[in-house]
Amino acid sequence: DRLTVAYLLLLPVLVTLLAGFYPALRLARFQPVKTLKSGLTSSYGEGLLLRRSLIVFQLLVAQALVITTIIITQQIRHFMAQPIGLNSESVVEFLLPENKPEQVHALKERLLTIPGVEQVTMSNTGSTSASSWGGDFEATINNDIVKANTNIKYADEDFLETYGLTLIHGEDLVRADSANRFVVNERLTKALGFQNSDDAIGTPISVWGSKAVITGVIKDFNATPLQFDLSPVIIMAGTSAYYVGAVRMNTDDVQQVVGKIRQTWESVYPNYVFEHTFLDEQIASFYDAERRNSYTMGFFSSVAILIGCIGLFGLVSFMVQQKIKEIGIRKTFGATVFQIVTILSREFVMLIGISFLVAAPLSFYFMQKWLSNFAYRYDITGLEFLAGLLLTFVIAMLTVSYSSIRAARANPIDALRNE
């Protein structure tokens, strides 16, 4: 849009003006007579506070970006390591453009005849989905009315087996024309107030005008992406509100089986385009935004470290040039290369420490805010801050040491020949 174009045009102009402002200000302060007499010289102390402030700011940004990148990466790994309570491997899902019972039934029967197809199920939203159907359920427990929000899934009798959900108490769904039984997850039995989930079997509950008893309890599974906490789930059969089909395959030739699934689907819905996704890929796609954030932060961390190293290299080169005679004298009196490098690096160690003292609490604050958006959060241990400090310290010291070692190895005669 116009605003973006204006921003892209204005940004280089502002950066150029800001970059040239300080040098122009310094040059404008030179007195021509003194400059022509003594040359364009300056002492190390002139502008020292500004130089140190800029280096600290560069190191602060670099360390903050490194720390946040590490935490974001750890959060993604924490996500992917979470058991979601179902088996998403070799499951392909597809949309049902029309949910007429005769079409859905015909499609399921035809799919089951395909070699390599193990199970087929139809439901309203599938197992784990970014879109969910929710509502309040109601039950009377010990003369008390219990109400809570639940995730509602309409599914046929093969839903649990196709998605690899674990039935721990009671009975599975059966084929029916009406919702005459409910299968719920453990979280819902806890919402009802039962300490032992098997005690919930036989409890009548009502939701959306349908009333039935709990006939089965399954292990908790993530019906929504891991950004959200586990929710109570009710699974009921006996409805035509099916919009998602799923097939569990048992074959090494997945593409051939998917091709046959496509042909079968198109024979039932010839006027629509077949669209499918693999369940494991779909679940992984829920966290694309976090992965993109991680890559983006990694890129900007690298750029910030590079800019910081350039600033450090320029400052240490300037400092070495200003102290070239001091270095020559120290070498003449027997100072070793290590001693000279240590003296020259001491100031930069202090700058790195100052920047870390600011970067660490800022990173912690913003990362805690970011992590609060997730139900399954990675616990910050403090090692992330140590890793960020060590990484920037090593890179910075390598940058500083390059110029320092070169100056320390120089012949002191070259530095003192004019004295």
Chain center to CA of 67: 14
C-alpha distances in angstroms, 86 versus 73, 266, 333, 380? 24, 29, 74, 28
The rounded mean pLDDT for the chain is: 82
236-258: per-residue pLDDT in tens?
A: 887 678 999 999 999 888 999 99
Looking at the DSSP assignment, which residues form a beta bridge with residue 150?
Answer: 135
DSSP letters spanning 343-363? HHHHHHHHHHHHHHHHHHHHH
Q: What is the pLDDT of residues 70-97, one digit of tens each?
A: 888 888 888 777 778 888 889 999 999 9
CB atoms < 10 A from the CB of 34, how many?
A: 11
Q: Does residue 123 carry a pLDDT above 80?
A: yes
CA atoms within 13 Å, Cβ hemisphere of 179: 23
CA–CA gap between residue 301 and residue 373 (Å, rounded): 23
pLDDT tens-place string over residues 309-347: 777 777 777 777 777 777 777 777 777 777 877 877 787
Residue 246 half-sphere exposure toward CB, CA atoms < 13 A: 30
SS3 (DSSP) at 208? coil
Higher pLDDT, 17 or 353: 353
Give me the helices (H) in 133-287, please: 159-163, 186-192, 254-268, 279-285
Query: From CA 389, how far away is CA 382, in angstroms rounded?
Result: 11
The residue-averaged pLDDT of 32-37 equals 56
Q: How many CB atoms lie within 10 A of CB 266?
A: 13
Cα angle, residue 151 at apex, residues 149 and 153 outer, rounded to 5°: 145
pLDDT digit string, tens, across residues 266-296: 999 999 999 999 988 888 888 787 788 778 8
Q: Which amino acid is at 57?
A: F
Find the Cα–Cα–Cα–Cα dihedral 181, 184, 188, 190, rounded to 10°: 100
pLDDT of amino acid 350:
87
Res 17 pLDDT > 80: no
Rounded to 5, what percent of the chain is helix, strand, coil?
55, 15, 30
pLDDT for 185 equals: 94
What is d(CA 330, CA 418) in angstroms, rounded to the nearest whole number?
16
The DSSP result for 374-399, as a single string, is -SSPPPP-SHHHHHHHHHHHHHHHHH
